[in-house]
A and B are shown apart, each in its own frame.
Chain A
Amino acid sequence: MNMPYRLNRFVIADPGKCIGCRVCEIACAAVHEKEQTPLTVGNMQNPVQPRLYLVRSVQGSVPIQCRHCEDAPCAAACPVLAITQKEDVIFVDESLCVGCKTCMLACPFGALKLVPVFENGLPVEQNLPLHPESQHQGGSTAGEKEEYKQLHVASKCDRCSGLAEPACVANCPQQALKVIQPERHLTMRMHEAALSLAAVARKYAS
């Protein structure tokens, strides 16, 4: 079924439909949990870390996520080649990421974020110890001295490539999100334009 797409598919939200409920964020975070996908809130032992971000403003709300750019600037900017084109997804290999944040700067949409890493509900520490003067009380265990900063890596939408449909699209209660297949979208638009032209022509011909 994996037909080769010439342009990368991506998910986009319709601000006219979005009600700002954050279901997309929850669904995204749930399916991206490292262990099995949790079914209930009680299984969410790590902080919610979505890969799309609801932006709320006076004009309304809408989630922002990766467009899977052609010749993606984040990938071009990554000094350790952690971001690659994988089929029609721009993919971050978090294990290679050094946290330089260049991708974050390069992304024109703010869709790339450096996120703290957790495992089984506990923060994962980076290798580099904190300078003794920066060490402070109140690490993950009360009373313990925090000697290491938490590890942070680049994170972005992978369009749920392992699933039949991205979790945000499948779970949006308003059907505000959809997967855009650029070629098909363009064909559809042209057909719509042609039909409306034909209608105009008919109207004036009669």
Chain B
Amino acid sequence: MKTPIITIDQELCTGCGRCREICPVGAISGMPDTPHEVDSTRCILCGQCVQICSGYDSANETFATSRVERLKQRGMLPTVKEPLFAAHYRGDINAVVAALQQPDTFTIVQCAPAVRVAIGEEFGMPYGTLTPGKLSAALHALGFNRVYDTNFAADLTIMEEGAELINRIKNKGRLPMFTSCCPGWVKYVEDQHDDLLDHLSSCKSPQQMAGTLFKTYGAKLDGIDPAHVFSVAVMPCTCKKFECERPEMNSSGYQDVDLVITTRELAQLIKHCGIDFTSLPDEAFDNPLGCYTGAGNIFGATGGVMEAALRSACEMLTGTPLPSLELEYVRGEEGIRRATICHEGVELKVTIVAGLQYVGSVLEQVRRGEADFHFLEVMCCPMGCVSGGGQPKILLPAQRLEAHAGRKAGLYSHDKSLTVRKSHENPQIKKLYENFLGEPLGHEAHHLLHTDHQQNRRAV
């Protein structure tokens, strides 16, 4: 059995209890001043405990485990110099290093939207500095054969999820529909609210859609055997490590995504290889699976999936585009936000939850049949993926909000600067449907891009 993804180092934990307080599912327990523990059956792997933990390997105390040993236990590179904290996640970087050194392995990497507005921070740049060009350049320099983008798959998710929503509305399917991008949220519904499973969109997350395509469409384009593809995802999220290992995530015929590393792990690898991130010249992501729109990019912030979906769904439903693409009414940072969109005689009601601890009352409303909205977006982390468990860990708690706001602003400014800002207008997405998938919700799309959460429940 692999090591659990989120654990608390019993030697380093001082028992302050801040992780216990922040855990949205009450999975952490412990007495004051004594080491705390994670109940892995309840944990949804969001990594917020990793973000808040401040019990570190202080030089003032003596620990039985040496630093060298601790780095090894955690699957971290031996060159990592940063302090080590009690709450931590399983590192997977060594397998990436090994894969990059295999001459007959074709390595493909994807990056989530939130990575490009945070990784610069690990190299001394201000909070939220937008660095897609440097990120792509660094991944090329590390030796990945293809540097693709989760943003492309985010656009694809909108095509499928948008079509699914319209289908449910038109054919009186189960409503409200829940987003399924956040793996912690999906796990939470499966673990604790399985009576509501059929509300979840059947769409795989962008990470998993991308992984499936890399080993099918992507491998075909490059004329390579998918058996030789090693697919890595760089994520702001710790739960994505769990998602890629789900046994049913193999529609390509192989494990769709072989390995997930976090934003922090990638930064550590870049330092390990002596790459000077800040002075890298900008490089583009590789075509065709690295081509993305502004809509795909805002997936990294709370309300972003909703905004991207509305930009496309309203247009698909009515045939007329929305008058403005700045859907300010779904942005924001409150735990629960509601909005009604009236466009060309169509009325869509949506709800957005940021921070899993706020979802309880909304789910009760759904369970009682009192939910009057069509679409629910839930992200486990407080500001969405920009504040994910795998993102650079902010040193001064007093700067947390500033940091999250900076990252969010980075995502939206990138969206604004892109010429194509609606997922259905992504030229490579159009091509993908023409040449490979057929149509949204079609046979091939259904086989490759959707999953059955009911089945997952039994399989896990």
Contact = CB atoms under 8 A, between A and B. Distances in A.
29 contacts: A19-B32, A21-B14, A21-B18, A21-B54, A21-B55, A23-B397, A36-B124, A39-B124, A39-B127, A39-B394, A40-B394, A41-B85, A41-B394, A43-B82, A43-B121, A43-B123, A44-B81, A44-B83, A45-B82, A46-B81, A48-B56, A48-B58, A48-B83, A54-B14, A54-B60, A60-B33, A61-B14, A170-B396, A171-B397
A22 B14 CA distance: 8
A25 B56 CA distance: 10
Main DSSP-derived SS at the B contact region: loop
A43 B396 CA distance: 12
Contacts of A171: 396-398
A20 B15 contact: yes
A121 B81 contact: yes
Contacts of A26: 54, 56, 83, 395-396
B361 interface: no
A48 B54 CA distance: 12
Contacts, number: 109
Given A19-B16, A41-B85, 17 more contacts: A21-B54, A22-B55, A26-B56, A27-B396, A27-B397, A27-B398, A41-B264, A42-B123, A42-B267, A42-B268, A42-B393, A44-B83, A44-B395, A45-B82, A49-B59, A170-B396, A171-B397
B181 interface: no
B54 A23 contact: yes
A56 B27 CA distance: 25
B44 to A, nearest CB: 23
B18 A173 contact: yes
B392 interface: yes
A38 interface: yes
Interface of B: 14-18, 32-33, 54-56, 58-60, 81-83, 85, 121-124, 126-127, 264, 267-268, 392-399, 403
A129 interface: no
Interface of A: 19-23, 25-27, 30, 36, 38-49, 53-54, 56, 60-61, 121, 167, 170-171, 173
A41 B264 CA distance: 9
B395 A27 contact: yes
Nearest to B403: A39
A43 B124 contact: yes
Contact of B398 (A36, A60, A121, A170): A170
B33 A56 contact: yes
A142 B121 CA distance: 29
